[in-house]
Amino acid sequence: MARRETPAAGPGSRALVVDVIRSATTISRVELAELTGLTQPSISNIVRDLIADGVIHETGSADSVRGKPRKLLAIQPAHRFGIGFQLGPESVTCVAIDLTGGVVGREVVPLDRTDLPARLAARFDDFTAGLDLPRDRIEGLAIVAPEAPEWAEERAGLAGQLRIPVLFENDAAAAALGEFWSRRVSREQSFGCVYLSTGIGAGLVFGGSLFRGASFDAGELGHVSIAYDGRSCPCGNAGCVERYASMTATVDAARAEPALAARLRLDGTVSSAYDTIARAAVSGDAAAYAVIDRAAGHLAVAVTSMVNLLDLGRLVLTGPGVAVAGSIYARRLRTHLARTAHARHRHEIVVELSARPRDAASIGGAALVVQASIAPGHTLGVS
Ligand SMILES: [Zn+2]
């Protein structure tokens, strides 16, 4: 492997070291220096500070080739916690994670949007009290929603009320970071996450950090057009994949088939109608399967463009849209990439399904909070 440039030791190095320890589970100082490209003295200093701060600890030792045992380092899980609230159309998913990314609490409650900041503050108190998490070990709260960056006022109000840092994040970006953490993806991998919900988004993690673009608007996969003269989209473009493959578009497609719509009784909210179609599709209903598979095909075309543009090596499908029928999307995507991805002869493009597709965004929000607290000044996620 080519030796990378030695990064300067700073808050970014501290975050880098913590990330590498987390993805390795346990690791020696020598291996840390090799994997981060930092010098041995820098590693010694950073490790000493992280142990003093209680972020990591020494955990036994491993035999080295030369016989001298090496002390192994690991994350101290119960030291700090991050809270993530994901706002859905009808409910809020609340998650608490520790420093390793492990989920220590989760609940989903109905969401009433009147006087939202006060309600979220009350929700935070209830949730953390229920888990008996000491307030001084809670590093902050992340609110995750499709259009989160526009919430400047609510953020200030909430942070003042709770007296902890509050950050807002877009659901696809948060989910990407959550998957990056919980899968222990190495920093070398170009990692992408496709978030399927009532809209479609993508999150991209390069070198361990979320890629944001010029105005925090990167990852708008839903508005990648797959047809010049296709369906018109509220964004102003035509043929946006969101108009063919989002949960909303899939429910519309199923409702347009009278026999299918009557058989499955597709009234009610988009989320519940979509789950009904997805359940039918994985239980042998051929018409429901065809509707989902067609949506998956449209999604595969757009995702392949993203993979080609960025030369991604690993992709995760997540979000409520893959909670039930994720295997149909994964199969379509793998087939399409294996046949058409530009880099298919150079490397494999791994497509995986999220283990917690309904929680990925809230877990990722909580991960952002913890990450930011480990390396103050180096707002992780902002490269
Ligand atoms: Zn659009």
- pLDDT tens digits for range 247-303: 999 999 999 999 999 999 998 899 999 999 999 999 999 999 999 999 999 999 999
Same domain, yes or no: 200 and 348: yes
Residue 224 lies in a domain: yes
CA of 58 to the centre of ligand 1 (A): 50
Mean pLDDT for the stretch of residues 72-88: 88
Q: Which range, of 38-47, 76-85, 121-130, 279-288, averages the lowest pLDDT?
A: 76-85
Same domain, yes or no: 86 and 156: yes
Mean pLDDT for the stretch of residues 314-341: 96
Please give the pLDDT value at position 63.
65
DSSP secondary structure, 32-77, as one string:
HHHHH---HHHHHHHHHHHHHTTSEEEEEEE--TTSPPEEEEEE-G
In this predicted structure, the answer to whether residue 312 has a pLDDT above a threshold of 70 is yes
Parent domain of 207: 186-358
CA of 233 to the centre of ligand 1 (A): 5
What is the rounded distance in angstroms from the CA atom of residue 123 to the CA atom of residue 105? 14
Instruction: Check if the beta carbon of residue 161 is closer than 8 Å to that of residue 119.
Output: no
Same domain, yes or no: 22 and 155: no
What is the rounded distance in angstroms from the CA atom of residue 112 to the CA atom of residue 357? 23
Same domain, yes or no: 368 and 302: no
In this predicted structure, the answer to whether residue 113 has a pLDDT above a threshold of 70 is yes
206 pLDDT band, cuts 50/70/90, is confident
Same domain, yes or no: 229 and 289: yes
CA of 146 to the centre of ligand 1 (A): 14
In this predicted structure, the answer to whether residue 92 has a pLDDT above a threshold of 90 is yes
CA of 97 to the centre of ligand 1 (A): 34
Residue 345 lies in a domain: yes
Domain final position from 75, 97, 113: 75
pLDDT in tens, 2-26: 444 445 556 678 878 887 888 778 8
Please give the pLDDT value at position 373.
79
Joined tokens for residue 48: 């000493």
In this predicted structure, the answer to whether residue 344 has a pLDDT above a threshold of 70 is yes
% the chain with pLDDT above 70: 91
Calculate the average pLDDT of the chain.
88
String of b and e for 140-158 (b: at least 16 CB within 10 Å)?
A: bbbbbbbebeebeebbebb
Instruction: Check if the beta carbon of residue 367 is closer than 8 Å to that of residue 23.
Output: no
Same domain, yes or no: 155 and 287: no
Same domain, yes or no: 230 and 211: yes
Please give the pLDDT value at position 148.
56
Same domain, yes or no: 150 and 278: no
In this predicted structure, the answer to whether residue 180 has a pLDDT above a threshold of 80 is yes
CA of 243 to the centre of ligand 1 (A): 8
Please give the pLDDT value at position 90.
82
Mean pLDDT for the stretch of residues 31-60: 90
Edge to edge, what strands does the sheet with 91-97 contain?
A: 103-110, 91-97, 81-87, 138-145, 166-170
What is the rounded distance in angstroms from the CA atom of residue 102 to the CA atom of residue 366? 10
Phi, psi of 270 (to 5 degrees): -60, -45
CA of 228 to the centre of ligand 1 (A): 12
The enclosing domain of 127 has a CATH number of 3.30.420.40
Higher pLDDT, 71 or 22: 71
Domain final position from 33, 60, 75: 75
The stretches of the chain forming alpha helices (DSSP H) are 11-24, 29-36, 40-52, 116-131, 152-162, 171-182, 242-245, 247-255, 258-264, 270-281, 286-310, 326-340, 360-374
346 three-state secondary structure: coil
CA of 269 to the centre of ligand 1 (A): 22
CA of 237 to the centre of ligand 1 (A): 5
CA of 235 to the centre of ligand 1 (A): 4
In this predicted structure, the answer to whether residue 246 has a pLDDT above a threshold of 90 is yes
CA of 84 to the centre of ligand 1 (A): 28
pLDDT in tens, 131-166: 998 888 899 999 998 875 566 677 778 888 888 889
Phi, psi of 181 (to 5 degrees): -70, -55
* CA-derived radius of gyration, the chain: 22
CA of 106 to the centre of ligand 1 (A): 33
What is the rounded distance in angstroms from the CA atom of residue 195 to the CA atom of residue 103? 20
Please give the pLDDT value at position 155.
77
Same domain, yes or no: 190 and 285: yes
Please give the pLDDT value at position 4.
44
What is the rounded distance in angstroms from the CA atom of residue 318 to the CA atom of residue 193? 7
Same domain, yes or no: 116 and 172: yes
Q: Which range, of 1-10, 206-215, 286-295, 305-314, averages the lowest pLDDT?
A: 1-10
Residue 380 lies in a domain: no
What is the rounded distance in angstroms from the CA atom of residue 179 to the CA atom of residue 185? 8
The residue to which tokens 């499709």 are assigned: 146
What is the rounded distance in angstroms from the CA atom of residue 35 to the CA atom of residue 17? 9
Please give the pLDDT value at position 284.
95
| Number of domains the chain contains | 3
Nearest to 144 by CA among 83, 192, 101: 83
CA of 247 to the centre of ligand 1 (A): 15
Please give the pLDDT value at position 65.
59
Please give the pLDDT value at position 64.
60
Joined tokens for residue 24: 């390795």
Q: Is 75 left (phi over 0), alpha (psi -120 to 50) or beta?
A: beta
In this predicted structure, the answer to whether residue 87 has a pLDDT above a threshold of 50 is yes
Amino acid at 38: L
Same domain, yes or no: 48 and 95: no
Same domain, yes or no: 258 and 326: yes
CA of 98 to the centre of ligand 1 (A): 37
The residue to which tokens 């009278």 are assigned: 258
